Amino acid sequence: MTLSDRTTPSLPLRQLLLAVGEPLLQPVAGGLDVPVRGVGIFDDDAGGFPGELVLLVGARGRNAVRSVRAAARAGAAAAVVKHDGPLDELRAAAEEGGIALLTVGSRMRWDQLQTLLREVLEAASLTADSTSDSGDLFSLAQTVAVLTAGSVTIEDAGHRVLAYSRSDDEIDELRRLSILGWEGPEQYLALLREWGVYQRLRSSEEVVRVDERPELGIRRRLAVGIRAGTQHLGTIWVQEGAQPFAERAESALLGAARLAAVQLLRRRSPSVRPREDLVEGLLDGRISADLVAGQLGLDPSAPVTVLAFTAREVERDRSEHELHQLELSNVVSVHATSYRRGALVGTVGSRVYAVLPEAGPSLSTVAGHIVGALARAGMRAQAGIGSAVPALGDVVRSRAEADRVLDAMARTGRDVATISDLRAEILLDETLSLLAANPELRDPAVSALVAHDAEHGTELVTSLLAYLDALGDVRAAATVLHIHPNTLRHRLRRATEVGGLHLDDPRERLAWHLQLLLTAR
């Protein structure tokens, strides 16, 4: 009975062995470059097994020899058998049938071996049919290199190199051979397996440290497994260069592994709506929260908070702008995902948004780390944090608040702010926007005062605004303007004459203050 996936692309047997570990499967006969396209449990009545690796379950002694020959006639690429005795007859049968033969220890359960082999083949299939996301992986590798201060390589479960970062730093022989050959060199992979590195990468989500081995020409490394549930999809490696790893390198690496898993899984289901489209539609209110939660495996009833990021500089060159947008999105994605697995990141216009399933003061720290990482990458940015909302369906409200915070921050020197930090600024901004949109609400006398300054070269508007900002304190306003208090008093008398302002009326002072602030925008 075959249990293989007939649509699974092939993987060379050599790569399959490297991925599962040579101590587990021992080659007995046949070449290791034969392509394997599936895993099956051999059954004489199942028909053909073209290109598959078949498990000869229950085959012993003479039965094993007959099963090897039958598997070869069925078109199998390789066969695995449990056999503790002499291998001469089995080897001869395999060579005669043109099939590769491997043995596995008697304590290994067949179902466990089948699951492991299928996982490796399925992970390899994520990159076999489509290269549409290779650019995303290379971009991710470059972002991780900046955040970790190392040289990055992304591999699939068969140790094939999918992407790597550009680097002018010193690289060791392992990285050089991996990039040149697009796969990890066998002698180095065997050492990493001997040191237990691969077992740790497969069994957990932890970041693994690999010590420097000067005698082998291997520099210090960080590594993390790319996982989807319990399935191992690949590995991200970071080699240390002339400088030590960045302070938060491990956190960045964990977030990058979660992003890489999403990109690899996306290739398996190209018909699924792209994650970016879902997030952007959620932020815009075009796509329902239930649809997004269903496709991305989220809890739609959990509270969320939106963080908005934007670059301070505006590039004139379109290609430079798009490059900076991509860098901004990548850095936000890596850090947000390392903070919370369920984080969503999307771009709308020139702003990048992170939807985080948690509220609290720690979000300011997260935003600060992201802005700091962008600064180290050469990009000055600001982050605005909206209020927490009770469910994913209310995310548009939190995003609107985050946008208002960023709008208000544009007139401040702050890097990170919450809606609470700038509530007064935001209220003022909204009020001025209302005045700007409704000119009939404004006092024509303000326009007359502005026109008087333009015609006579006076500074009545600036002087009056400074006086109102100082709450009527003439000396404080004069200090700001760098003039004598008597000079300011003269200007104020002249301003009231030209505009007809009554400074003793608090409501009139407030109305003029708002309108003068509008002229100063």
Q: Dump pLDDT digits (tens) for 34-57.
A: 888 888 888 766 567 888 888 988
Name the range with the highest mean pLDDT among 155-159, 214-218, 353-357, 495-499: 353-357
What b/e sequence results for 424-453 when a residue is b if at least 16 CB atoms lie within 10 Å of its CB, and e otherwise? ebbeebeebeeeeeeeeebbeebeebbebb
With tokens 């293989």, the residue in question is 4
242: left (phi over 0), alpha (psi -120 to 50) or beta: alpha
- Average pLDDT, stretch 177-184? 58
Question: Which 3 state secondary structure label does DSSP give 509?
Answer: helix
With tokens 């009527």, the residue in question is 472
HEC assignment per residue over 273-285: CCHHHHHHHHHHC
pLDDT band at 268 (very low <50, low <70, confident <90, very high): low
Question: Which 3 state secondary structure label does DSSP give 248?
Answer: coil
Number of Cβ within 10 Å of residue 256's Cβ equals: 28
pLDDT of residue 125: 60
Listed in order, strand segments (DSSP E) in 401-443 are 416-418
Number of Cβ within 10 Å of residue 294's Cβ equals: 11
Q: State the chain's mean pLDDT as an integer.
A: 81
* pLDDT greater than 50 at residue 131: no
Q: What is the CA radius of gyration of the chain?
A: 33
> With pLDDT > 70 as the criterion, what percentage of the chain qualifies?
85
- Average pLDDT, stretch 204-224? 86
For 41-44, which contacts have Cβ atoms below 8 Å and span 24 or more sequence positions?
41/1, 41/2, 41/3, 41/110, 41/114, 42/67, 42/70, 42/71, 42/74, 42/76, 42/79, 43/1, 43/2, 44/70
pLDDT of residue 6: 40
* pLDDT greater than 80 at residue 406: yes
Q: Whole-model pTM?
A: 0.57
**Residue 377 identity:** A
* pLDDT greater than 70 at residue 180: no
* pLDDT greater than 90 at residue 306: yes
- Average pLDDT, stretch 278-291? 87
Q: Using alpha carbons only, what angle is made at residue 136 by residues 212 and 289, rounded to the nearest 5 degrees?
A: 115
Instruction: Give the separation between CA 410 and CA 417, rounded to whole angstroms.
Output: 11
* pLDDT greater than 50 at residue 271: no
pLDDT of residue 222: 93
* pLDDT greater than 90 at residue 115: no
- Average pLDDT, stretch 246-272? 76
